[in-house]
Chains A and B, each alone.
Chain A
Amino acid sequence: MLQKKICMLGSFSVGKTSLVKRFVESIFSEKYLTTVGVKIDKKIVPVEGQDVTLMLWDLYGEDEYQKIRMSYLRGASGYLLVADGTRAATVDKALAILDEAEKNFGKIPCVLALNKCDLTEEWAIAPEREAEFAARARHVIRTSAKTGEGVELAFEELAKGMIAT
């Protein structure tokens, strides 16, 4: 069976682990538990008529305390960039990580998930910025690990992109 490695990239507390848990286990917790190190989950999904094993590498969020090791991205077929839609700076951070990744490993399919879209009153990303991001990522999708909105779509679109390349 086809196996593809996806790296979850982004700043801390943007919802990478929550998105993985929602996608793999259909669960969500409000409690914030920071990820230390790397966790790997897997899920088999049908993509364009064939089953694909997605190996989801949930990497710790990059900040002043921990910087992502590029070696973790080795062999990745796609990136799910995750940003917190209520913290505009996390989008720039996600794109900066993408720049670094592409410098090391070239361009591969990626989807930018603007997470926490259920927090409408605190949303901090202007619509015109979303259009800017679309030029960088294959898709820009508003997601909510809490409600599930956009989560399946984000992984599906990324999987399609990975199969196509």
Chain B
Amino acid sequence: MGRDASSEPNGESIAAALLEAEGYAAFEYLGGGQFRALGKPPRFCAELLGSAAADGAAVALAERMPFLESFLPDAEDNWNSSTGGRVESGTWIEQADAGREVALEASALRLGEKRILLIRNPQKDFDEESGLLQKARESALEHERLLREIQKKEILLHCVIHDLTQPLTAIRGCFALLAAESLSPKLQHLIEIGQRQSRNQEEMIRSVLQAFSEELAAQDAAAHDAAQAPDLVKCAQQVAQDYAGAFEERGARIELDSGVDLGSSWRVVGEESRLRRIYTNLLENALRYSSAGGRVMLGAIDEGRFVRAYVDDEGPGLPTGEGAPKLFALFGKGKEGGGKAGLGLYFCKITAERWGGSIGAENRPDRGTRFWFRLPKAEATVEVSPPAAAPIAVVKQSGDSRSGRHLRLLLADDTPVNRQITSLLLERQGHAVLAVENGAQALARLDTQPFDAVILDEEMPEMGGLEVAREIRKREAKAGGHLPLILVTGNASETARARSRAAGVDAHFAKPYEDEELFRKVAELCGADRATPTAEATSESTQPSSGRVDEQELLRRLGGSAKMLRDVAKIFTQDTPKRVAAIRKAIEQQDGATLAAAAHALRGSLAMLGAAEIAAEMRKVESLAKDGQVAEAREIFASIEGKLAAFKKLIAGFAGSSTKQRKAGRADGSSRARGKAR
């Protein structure tokens, strides 16, 4: 009983049946781009190739499926190789009838002497893969979009905060002048409080800015020494004392909960000044909702490894439906939208969380709200954030300000007024200064003579400060050496500082900066630190007051030299019309880039000469122009043209007789008087 041999399936037919079952179209390569179909073609193949796919038919596949043209050389290499194996083509799409897209994959392998090309339609896998890739890429795009939004907010914050610090300079200047007057001890004491608070204010603003920077948010921790951990209750007591007056004014009270054990240690992970700021922000919030007869209570609860601090008020309580998450969100302000830009509680949240703690708020059972934050107790080294930036202080040398080595300095700044003033100030320190207008000139000078350090403005035509820095470091990589480089810029962000560091800059000075800080840094970088050790920090600002030209301050800055003041005034008076003309022309031509550059240059001069208000408006012009919003920039420029003209006229007066200036100049606004007299 034997079977008929002719009906027995042979190897080839089994293989063909398997391929058909698996949805493969199989072809044998005949050479010269010709293939012979093997077995019955699957439906997709018949659909795409028609009769060419019939068993045994010869077809120039690459002509019918152009994709295979790029795959064929790889397939041939594989067929001709001695190692064998299989090579895959990757997915491609063919269009069938009625526009239906068919996903295909090809693979080439050798079976004995036969060179085989398999094509299959992995539609299910393809659809699944497409779905996954679609989601992944949509997420990636959304992530990019969010990053751009965050960046925009950061830039806005930087601008807002930069402008917020400007009036502080004027306030500190006024305090400094008042401190110089003969006042009663009581008034002197009040002035000291004012000076201290304005310094604290500036420090707070800068720290809030730092807290929002990407770099700070990306850093999760830093080491902290338990011996320096702040005492939470002591901090609460100090802040309560500071705010006692403000509450009294409202007819309300602020107290420490009598149940708190003052004899215990309440040391927590954190940093003193920021802990104080958390309390300050919470108390500000409580004060806002306190009325006459009300009471705010501060307390602390030992929760084992944690300490929970709380601020209880007797206000109206949290609005219905207003969760703590929204209150503590960035720019979240609660129902009434009161408060300052929604930053305070957000700052508290991110600070507490960075220290490993948490924060929240809830309505109290009787009435009012409890705001609380929980921090880990300080034990052996735990990780916290790096210390806050030191307050900006002016270090006044009690000795000769020209002590130390005399340096050869190269200064590059495209704004004539800035060049003049900075050169003069550095020369007063005993240094020799060569000033040039742009980065290209700076590099050319470096080729011909040596310098001890280079001070670079960031934004200059032809070649900016960062580009110069990169070029210098590139040269040093080949030739050796390290020339100290200082960059002066309007951008104080961490991103800008990181950019400076990446370019090889040694010091990044964001305007407005203290002149003494610049002198000290120059000396430090050149190893020419001043010998005089008796430096004492004062609150004196070296910046001219905001909004008005303080002639005496300007004169003081220029070493009391009326001649220098005349020279600077002359330069400004000659330069400004050209800048204004350039601005007007750029506006007419809708040229945002040129407008931004001209506005930037003029802004620098205005800031240098103390016209902070006009400089702030010019910054807006610059910013809008950079974004291509020339029409909006034009409107702002139009609104300040009058003030600019008046300011130029005022400065032009300084370029006149020196005797007249000395007689007219007083810190209380004699420049105003002169202006009025005209």
Per-position contact with A for B74-98: 1 when CB-CB < 8 Å, else 0? Answer: 1000000000000000111100000
Closest partner residue, chain A, to B69 (CB atom): A75
Confirm or deny: B404 has a beta carbon within 8 angstroms of a beta carbon on chain A.
Answer: no
Return B72 CB to nearest CB of chain A, in Å.
9
Q: Which of B101, B133, B138, B628 has the most CB of A within 10 A?
A: B133
Closest partner residue, chain B, to A70 (CB atom): B70
Closest partner residue, chain B, to A74 (CB atom): B70
B126 touches A12 (CB 8 A): no
A87 touches B144 (CB 8 A): yes
Confirm or deny: B593 has a beta carbon within 8 angstroms of a beta carbon on chain A.
Answer: yes
Give the residue of B70, B93, B137 whose beta carbon is less than 8 angstroms from that of A13. B137
A75 touches B70 (CB 8 A): yes
Return A94 CB to nearest CB of chain B, in Å.
16
Return A152 CB to nearest CB of chain B, in Å.
23
Instruction: Give Cα A157 to B140, complex, Å.
Output: 33
Instruction: Give Cα A72 to B73, complex, Å.
Output: 11
Confirm or deny: B177 has a beta carbon within 8 angstroms of a beta carbon on chain A.
Answer: no
B133 touches A40 (CB 8 A): no
Give the residue of A63, A72, A87 whose beta carbon is less than 8 angstroms from that of B70. A72
Instruction: Give Cα A75 to B67, complex, Å.
Output: 11
Return B131 CB to nearest CB of chain A, in Å.
10
Instruction: Give Cα A36 to B92, complex, Å.
Output: 8
Residues of A within 8 A of B9 (CB): none
Per-position contact with B for A32-71: 1 when CB-CB < 8 Å, else 0? Answer: 1110111110000000000000010000010101100101
Return B446 CB to nearest CB of chain A, in Å.
24
B141 touches A13 (CB 8 A): yes
Residues of A within 8 A of B538 (CB): none
Residues of B within 8 A of A74 (CB): 69-70, 73
Give the residue of A32, A38, A55, A63 whose beta carbon is less than 8 angstroms from that of B90. A38
CB interface residues, B 49-87, toward A, < 8 Å: 66-67, 69-71, 73-74
Residues of B within 8 A of A165 (CB): none
Closest partner residue, chain A, to B74 (CB atom): A71
Residues of A within 8 A of B561 (CB): none
B91 touches A65 (CB 8 A): no
Residues of B within 8 A of A13 (CB): 137, 141
Residues of A within 8 A of B93 (CB): 37-39
Confirm or deny: B47 has a beta carbon within 8 angstroms of a beta carbon on chain A.
Answer: no
B92 touches A40 (CB 8 A): yes
B134 touches A127 (CB 8 A): no
Instruction: Give Cα A69 to B66, complex, Å.
Output: 16
CB interface residues, B 95-149, toward A, < 8 Å: 101, 103, 126, 129-130, 133-134, 136-138, 140-141, 144
Return A6 CB to nearest CB of chain B, in Å.
12
A37 touches B126 (CB 8 A): yes
B70 touches A36 (CB 8 A): no
Give the residue of A36, A38, A87 whose beta carbon is less than 8 angstroms from that of B133. A36
Instruction: Give Cα A69 to B73, complex, Å.
Output: 14
Instruction: Give Cα A73 to B70, complex, Å.
Output: 8
Per-position contact with A for B143-165: 1 when CB-CB < 8 Å, else 0? Answer: 01000000000000000000000
Residues of A within 8 A of B70 (CB): 71-75
* Chain B interface size range: 20 to 34
Confirm or deny: A29 has a beta carbon within 8 angstroms of a beta carbon on chain B.
Answer: no
Query: Considering only CB atoms and an 8 Å cut-off, how many residues of chain A contact the other chain?
Result: 27
CB interface residues, A 116-140, toward B, < 8 Å: 120-121, 123, 126-127
Instruction: Give Cα A126 to B592, complex, Å.
Output: 11
Q: A87-B144, A127-B593 are in contact. Are A40 and B137 (CB under 8 A)?
A: no
Give the residue of A36, A40, A61, A65 whose beta carbon is less than 8 angstroms from that of B66. A40
Residues of B within 8 A of A127 (CB): 593
A36 touches B130 (CB 8 A): yes
B90 touches A69 (CB 8 A): yes
Closest partner residue, chain B, to A58 (CB atom): B93
Give the residue of A34, A37, A126 whose beta carbon is less than 8 angstroms from that of B91. A37
Instruction: Give Cα A140 to B70, complex, Å.
Output: 28
Instruction: Give Cα A69 to B126, complex, Å.
Output: 18
Residues of A within 8 A of B141 (CB): 13, 32
Residues of B within 8 A of A121 (CB): 627-628
Q: A13-B141, A39-B92 are in contact. Are A34 and B134 (CB under 8 A)?
A: yes
Q: A38-B92, A40-B92, A72-B70 are in contact. Are A33 and B134 (CB under 8 A)?
A: yes
A65 touches B67 (CB 8 A): no
Return A54 CB to nearest CB of chain B, in Å.
12
Residues of B within 8 A of A37 (CB): 90-93, 103, 126
Instruction: Give Cα A126 to B138, complex, Å.
Output: 26
Return B463 CB to nearest CB of chain A, in Å.
12
Instruction: Give Cα A32 to B138, complex, Å.
Output: 8
Return B90 CB to nearest CB of chain A, in Å.
6
Instruction: Give Cα A72 to B88, complex, Å.
Output: 12
Closest partner residue, chain A, to B104 (CB atom): A37
Closest partner residue, chain B, to A37 (CB atom): B91
Instruction: Give Cα A6 to B274, complex, Å.
Output: 60
Per-position contact with A for B617-650: 1 when CB-CB < 8 Å, else 0? Answer: 0000000000110000000000000000000000
Instruction: Give Cα A87 to B133, complex, Å.
Output: 20
Identify the A interface with B (CB < 8 A).
12-13, 32-34, 36-40, 55, 61, 63, 65-66, 69, 71-75, 87, 120-121, 123, 126-127
15 A-B pairs within 8 Å (CB atoms) are namely A33-B134, A34-B130, A34-B137, A36-B91, A36-B126, A36-B130, A36-B133, A37-B91, A38-B67, A39-B93, A40-B92, A61-B137, A65-B136, A75-B70, A120-B628
Identify the B interface with A (CB < 8 A).
66-67, 69-71, 73-74, 90-93, 101, 103, 126, 129-130, 133-134, 136-138, 140-141, 144, 593, 627-628
Q: Which 3 A-B residue pairings sit nearest by Cβ, starting from the closest?
A: A37-B91, A38-B92, A74-B70
Other contacts beyond A37-B126, A127-B593: 15, CB < 8 A? A12-B137, A12-B140, A13-B137, A13-B141, A32-B138, A34-B134, A36-B103, A37-B90, A37-B93, A38-B90, A38-B91, A65-B136, A71-B74, A87-B144, A121-B627
